[in-house]
Chain A
Amino acid sequence: MVRGMAILLIMQLLGEVISRGLKIPIPGNVIGMGLLLAALGLGWIKVQWIQEAAELLLAHLALFFVPAGVGVMVYFDLISAEWLPIVTAMVLSTFVVMAVTGRVALRLDRRRGADDR
């Protein structure tokens, strides 16, 4: 558990070093995810070392977003002044993205001859 947590944090740290050092617009944690995936694929890190820590964090993934959502209260004034564009764009765009992504993936998968039920 502690070993897994340490590995995850070290990967994130390495990702931050790369992100800031090379001034890439991609955050360190995403680069860290790529590094961990590569290390797992190369066999440098065994999946058992990190499975417990990863499963614990992913089981509560949604919780970690709560504080950012609470930040909406700071912008109540701006949001109430521009509620129509904000709410409409956010809601419709979310459905557009799901429809486009899902249908494109399904069409390409089907062309390949896969069964999509």
Chain B
Amino acid sequence: MIDELLYSPLFGVALTLACYALAQKLYVRTGSIFFNPVAVSIVAIIGFLLAFRIPHEAYVAGGRLVLFLLGPSVVALAVPLYVRRREILERKVPILLGITAGALASILSASGLAWLLGGSREVILSLAPKSVTTPIAIGIVEKIGGLPPLTAALVVLTGCLGAICGPEFCRLIGVRDPAAMGLAVGTAAHGIGTARMLEVDRLGGAVSGLAIGLNGLITAFILPLIVALFL
């Protein structure tokens, strides 16, 4: 009976929501960006599964239900874009060129560094779209021949990193304009970075949402070409 329940969606959804609710409370209480709710939830869930020797496959049934909501959420990013359309259209040139430069920098630096340090072909290909949002990155990796679930995990870890120190790093290098900051964080850290940017600044959050889609589109077109040429 226990097994049947563990493998039902009920278990995975309950565990995910409980961990996330606690992680959010910790984030608000401590006010520390290092307690990023996504990162803390992932660590807590993995810890729970390992501690009780529950296989990952048991968690997947519920995990899929939570992940399902990512789809309509990406569609919903059209709303902040529409609401802020004037400010965004005013800056269309810096936005488009900034994201294109970032998408190229992402592919070349991630795969180049992994190659220099002796990463296997599978790892290099799985890392290449790490800044692109999960559903797009998985689609790209299926096409170029990496490991889609590894990519999904690396994408989320990248997102956590960008959410934890993105806005602070941007200020450090002199990127204080909210639109430019949102562009940088959204291009590097997709939806998880955007969630943080929505807390920092409204225009920055909207631009960050735009960067998720555009970086995904640009990478989906460029990466298969780069792989065909170099790998």
Contacts and interface: CB of A to CB of B under 8 A. Distances in A.
Contacts of A5: 72
Contacts of A37: 78, 81-82
Interface string A49-74: 01101110110111111111111111
Contact of A78 (B118, B150, B209, B217): B150
A25 B139 contact: yes
B163 interface: yes
A8 B173 contact: no
B109 A89 contact: yes
B208 to A, nearest CB: 11
Indicate the size class of the contact surface on chain A.
35 or more
Contacts of A64: 66-67, 69-70, 73, 191
A98 B66 CA distance: 28
A93 to B, nearest CB: 4
Nearest to A9: B72
B101 interface: yes
B109 to A, nearest CB: 4
B interface residue count range (under 10 / 10 to 19 / 20 to 34 / 35 or more): 35 or more
B163 to A, nearest CB: 7
A94 B158 contact: yes
A104 B111 CA distance: 21
Contact of B157 (A62, A72, A74, A82): A72
A43 to B, nearest CB: 11
A94 B101 contact: no
A100 B60 CA distance: 36
A32 B136 CA distance: 13
Prevailing SS type, chain A contact patch: helix
Interface string A73-117: 111001000101110111111111111111111111100101011
Interface in B45-68: 45-46, 49-50, 56, 59-60, 62-64, 66-67
Interface of B: 12, 16-17, 19-20, 37-39, 41-42, 45-46, 49-50, 56, 59-60, 62-64, 66-67, 69-83, 85, 91, 93-95, 97-99, 101-102, 105-106, 109-120, 122-124, 127, 130-131, 134-136, 139-140, 143, 147, 149-150, 152-163, 166, 169-170, 173-177, 179-181, 183-185, 187-189, 191-192, 194-196, 198, 209, 211, 213, 216-217, 220-221, 224
13 contacts: A11-B75, A26-B217, A32-B75, A33-B75, A58-B209, A62-B191, A63-B37, A65-B156, A67-B59, A85-B115, A98-B187, A98-B189, A108-B93
Given A68-B155, A91-B161, 15 more contacts: A25-B140, A33-B78, A61-B194, A64-B66, A64-B69, A66-B41, A69-B41, A70-B49, A72-B154, A73-B46, A78-B147, A82-B119, A98-B166, A98-B189, A100-B101
